């Protein structure tokens, strides 16, 4: 099948074509890579954009329960929802723990939903690149909302924030009044902090946690892309569904404001620029692992080891040669 046929099928909303295209962008084979780039270029259409929502939270806070309930609420409104994952742990564990269909069984059967587990890949940079391309494919396929799930371990949040229009942080009710060791950097990225499990016996603790975070957020510097009152903290229950409609309402309000104030376009433009730079950086790094660069690194390294050259002079020589070699 040629690129145009693939692109047509994806644009028409063909889920199998979308799934195959995501497999294509996940492939490291050079011929697949060339096909993937052609396909992404053929599908480029700035008018076809989804609301990209990043979602982070430590294991057990209820991410999959939330995504299932929230996703079903959106599909009930006839919105098309895609779920992708950036899983920094898959490299270590060898298996994915995010975006797993068995964790979102009802949503995965919904014809308006599409769930893609995280690819296993050794480098976070690699996973991030593929996820970004998968987001682009989902947008081309006409999804209204793309949820990008990650687990709260720091680095992956930054990656997801660079992929998202909105960033949600999901928390569980705290036992005491302590903030749950949430890194300040992650809190600074959040547009909405949702304290999940605000139901039954856990409700009072959830409401206390909401109050704690409201206080903590007030101490953070206001960002230009935040209207008054944002970032916000809300109690939700993924189990009962309570608070989900309000959370969605807040997300829409924030989106509307950012669009009308020009922040939406500016953020997306800055994100594209960042990804371009990142691609160049990754390309240069991977060039070092291929010939002839790899051999040059080896031979210059040997001369440094024998003290025939200083590390600085050898690096300068390598960079000079890189400027010449393709």
Residue recorded with tokens 């603790």 = 205
Stretch 141-180: interaction string toward ligand GDP, x if CB under 6 A:
----------------------------------------
Binding of ligand GDP at residue 90 (CB under 6 A)? no
Q: Which of 91, 179, 207, 239 binds ligand GDP (CB under 6 A)?
A: 239
Task: Determine the 3-state secondary structure of 13 from DSSP.
Answer: coil
Q: Which of 30, 46, 60, 224 binds ligand GDP (CB under 6 A)?
A: 60
**Which range binds ligand GDP by CB under 6 A, 84-92, 124-132, 192-200, 293-301?**
192-200
63 vs 129, beta carbon nearer ligand GDP: 63
CB atoms within 10 A of CB 180: 17
Least spacing, CB of residue 11 vs ligand GDP, in Å: 32
Q: Nearest-CB residue to ligand GDP?
A: 62
Are 41 and 135 spatial neighbours (Cβ–Cβ below 8 Å)? no
Least spacing, CB of residue 83 vs ligand GDP, in Å: 12
Q: List Cβ neighbours of 88 (8 Å cut-off, separation of 6 or more).
A: 124, 127, 150, 151, 153, 155, 156
Binding of ligand GDP at residue 298 (CB under 6 A)? no
Q: Which of 197, 232, 258, 263 binds ligand GDP (CB under 6 A)?
A: 197
Binding of ligand GDP at residue 62 (CB under 6 A)? yes
**Which range binds ligand GDP by CB under 6 A, 107-115, 193-201, 222-230, 283-291?**
193-201
Binding of ligand GDP at residue 238 (CB under 6 A)? yes
CA distance 31 to 109: 33
Residue recorded with tokens 């430590």 = 58
199 vs 212, beta carbon nearer ligand GDP: 199
Angle at 84 between CA 79 and CA 90, to 5 degrees: 160
**Bridge partners (DSSP) listed for residue 166:** 53
Give the phi and the psi of residue 215 in degrees, each rounded to 5.
-60, -45
224-to-141, 142, 228, 263, 319 alpha-carbon distances in Å: 32, 30, 10, 8, 39
62 vs 119, beta carbon nearer ligand GDP: 62
39 vs 205, beta carbon nearer ligand GDP: 205
Task: Determine the 3-state secondary structure of 79 from DSSP.
Answer: coil
What stretches of 45-154 adopt beta strand conformation (E)?
Answer: 51-57, 81-86, 113-115, 145-151
Q: Which of 65, 108, 120, 253 binds ligand GDP (CB under 6 A)?
A: 65
CA distance 148 to 84: 5
Binding-site size, ligand GDP (CB under 6 A)? 17
65 vs 120, beta carbon nearer ligand GDP: 65
CA-derived radius of gyration, the chain: 22
Are 244 and 73 spatial neighbours (Cβ–Cβ below 8 Å)? yes
Binding of ligand GDP at residue 196 (CB under 6 A)? yes
**Which range binds ligand GDP by CB under 6 A, 46-54, 107-115, 214-222, 233-241?**
233-241
CA distance 204 to 221: 28
Least spacing, CB of residue 56 vs ligand GDP, in Å: 10
Site for ligand GDP in 20-59 (CB under 6 A): 57, 59
| Residue ranges that bind ligand GDP, judged by CB under 6 A | 57, 59-65, 103, 196-197, 199-200, 202, 237-239
């Amino acid at each position: 099948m040629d690129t145009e046929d693939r692109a047509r099928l994806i644009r028409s909303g063909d889920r199998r074509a979308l799934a195959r295209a995501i497999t294509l962008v996940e492939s490291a084979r050079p011929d697949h890579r060339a096909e993937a780039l052609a396909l992404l270029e053929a599908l480029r259409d700035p008018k076809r954009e989804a609301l990209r929502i990043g979602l982070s939270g430590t294991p057990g806070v209820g991410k999959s329960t939330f995504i299932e309930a929230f996703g079903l609420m959106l599909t009930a409104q006839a919105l098309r929802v895609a779920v992708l994952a950036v899983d920094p742990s898959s490299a270590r564990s060898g298996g994915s723990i995010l975006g797993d269909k068995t964790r979102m069984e009802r949503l995965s059967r919904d014809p308006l939903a599409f769930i893609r587990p995280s690819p296993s890949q050794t480098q976070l940079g690699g996973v991030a690149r593929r996820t970004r391309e998968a987001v682009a494919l989902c947008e081309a396929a006409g999804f209204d909302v793309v949820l990008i799930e990650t687990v709260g371990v720091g680095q992956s949040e930054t990656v997801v924030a660079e992929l998202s229009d909105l960033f949600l942080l999901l928390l569980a009710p705290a036992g005491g009044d302590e903030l749950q060791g949430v890194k300040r950097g992650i809190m600074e990225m959040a547009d909405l902090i949702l304290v999940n499990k605000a139901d039954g016996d856990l409700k009072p603790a959830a409401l206390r946690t909401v109050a704690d975070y409201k206080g903590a957020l007030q101490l953070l510097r206001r960002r230009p892309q935040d209207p008054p009152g944002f970032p916000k903290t809300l109690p939700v229950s993924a189990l009962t569904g309570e608070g989900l409609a309000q959370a969605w309402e807040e997300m829409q309000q924030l989106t509307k404001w950012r669009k009308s104030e020009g922040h939406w376009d500016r953020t997306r433009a800055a994100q594209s620029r960042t990804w371009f730079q990142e691609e160049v950086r990754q390309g240069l790094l991977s060039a070092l692992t291929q010939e002839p660069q790899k051999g040059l690194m080896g031979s210059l390294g040997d001369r440094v080891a024998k003290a025939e050259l200083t590390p600085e002079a050898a690096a300068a020589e390598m960079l000079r040669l890189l400027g010449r070699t393709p």
